[in-house]
Amino acid sequence: MSTFTLRIPTPSSHLHSSVSRKNTYASSRSSGQRTQNIRFNGSNGPRKIFQNASDVKSKLSSSAGVALESSGLDAPILAPQGEGDSPVVSTCDHWSKNLPVLAKSHRVYAIDLLGYGYSDKPNPRNFPVNSLYNFETWAKQINDFCLDVVNDQAFFICNSIGGIVGLQSALMERNICRGLVLLNISLRMLHIKKQSLYARPFVKLFQKLLRDTELGKIFFKSVATPKAIKSILCQCYHNDSEVTDELVEKILLPGLQPGAVDVFLSFICYSDGPLPEELIPQVECPVLIAWGDKDPWEPIELGRAYGTFKNVEDFVVLPNVGHCPQDEAPHLINPLVEAFVAHHART
């Protein structure tokens, strides 16, 4: 059984005094069935095991500090964790500046995907190469979550590699995602299709060395420190004053969980799968793209091409913002998301 973390924001009356709950949502990947159990670890009570979606909704709705129902439009919003293909691996905590604001008028969920954050981390060595930690696995988890917990269609807000997951989800189940907001979506520059013919064998060899020898673990150990994480974050945040010790801890601690190194090495050696330019024109729901113009990892000059697809409603330039605009510039992202969702929730 595989689990991944769900965070639900507290009601607006407790936004500044309470911490969102940690939950794990379980699905059986091998059996092909959807959710079997949902584990809720509330800080105000013991662990509860819910056997089905209706049970979890009724129980969580009555639990103190858990907002599944809100006033206003109440259109569900789902935010999967973002960056996963660099030494900085984000968690659903990266949406902490967005959830309280959006939860005032919506049901909002932020989840850690299988292998990341505080989710379960099955050893990829027990599976064929790249068969476990890939976009189809994560897309299926998102769609299953919408079907069994949200119990409704939802808008997806995605950052970086999470954008590929959101797009894949929208393609696999076309009646679940109502709209996509893509923030600095990963260009996947290490994808095999973007490597020169001469470079491919060398990249493959280097990936094999990372994955199958001690070199990868040595590399991971060198970057899994507060100093290294802070240095990397300061590269991708244009305003490095936003790189606080609290942020560094949020990013670092999940990476120290047992199994995290194998997940990380497995995914950075994943050079196959879909590209955003292949997925975007295929989705049938509306798409909004926003891009921090100071992103050193995903250059906006290359990202602008995605704004030319017919189903992309707008390409918004975020001035003086880096790779993680939801955290660095929530004052820009939250109104953008609210306006997009409000517009399409009426249609």
Pairing of strands 77-80, 48-50: unpaired
Residue (of 135, 141, 72) closest to 112 by Cα position: 141
The phi and psi torsions of 318 (rounded to 5 degrees) equal -100, 105
For 301-308, what is the mean pLDDT? 94
Residue (of 135, 87, 121, 84) closest to 279 by Cα position: 135
pLDDT at position 34 over 90: no
d(CA 233, CA 287): 27
The structure tokens 């249609």 sit at 347
pLDDT in tens, 262-277: 888 888 878 788 999 9
* Region of poorest pLDDT, from 16-30, 97-111, 230-244: 16-30
Task: Please tell me the predicted confidence (pLDDT) of residue 278.
Answer: 94
| Residue pair 21/80 in contact by the 8 Å Cβ criterion | no
For 239-265, what is the mean pLDDT? 88
The number of angstroms, rounded, from the C-alpha of 56 to the middle of its chain's C-alpha atoms is 22
Beta bridge partners of 177: 154
Residue ranges of domains in the chain, CATH in brackets: 35-40+62-79+87-345 (3.40.50.1820)
Task: Please tell me the predicted confidence (pLDDT) of residue 336.
Answer: 96
pLDDT at position 17 over 50: no
pLDDT in tens, 101-116: 998 888 888 888 888 8
Q: Which two tokens stand for residue 309?
A: 């697809």
Task: Please tell me the predicted confidence (pLDDT) of residue 292.
Answer: 95
Task: Please tell me the predicted confidence (pLDDT) of residue 268.
Answer: 80
pLDDT at position 28 over 50: no
Mean pLDDT over all residues of the chain?
A: 76
* Region of poorest pLDDT, from 63-67, 247-251, 271-275, 343-347: 63-67
For 289-299, what is the mean pLDDT? 95
pLDDT in tens, 120-129: 889 998 998 8
| Residue pair 337/157 in contact by the 8 Å Cβ criterion | yes
d(CA 272, CA 280): 17
72 phi-psi bin (left φ>0, alpha ψ -120 to 50, beta other): left
CB count in 10 Å sphere of residue 239: 13
**Kindly report the CA angle at 281 between 277 and 282, in degrees rounded to 5?**
115
Task: Please tell me the predicted confidence (pLDDT) of residue 266.
Answer: 85
| Residue pair 167/180 in contact by the 8 Å Cβ criterion | yes
Q: What is the DSSP string of 268-329?
A: HT---S--HHHHGGG--S-EEEEEETT-SSS-HHHHGGGGGSTTEEEEEEETT--S-HHHH-
Most confident of 35-49, 61-75, 97-111, 318-332: 318-332
Three-state secondary structure call for residue 25: strand
Task: Please tell me the predicted confidence (pLDDT) of residue 194.
Answer: 79
Q: Which has the higher per-residue pLDDT, 92 or 106?
A: 106
Q: What is the DSSP string of 237-266?
A: -SSGGG--HHHHHHHHHHHTSTTHHHHHHH
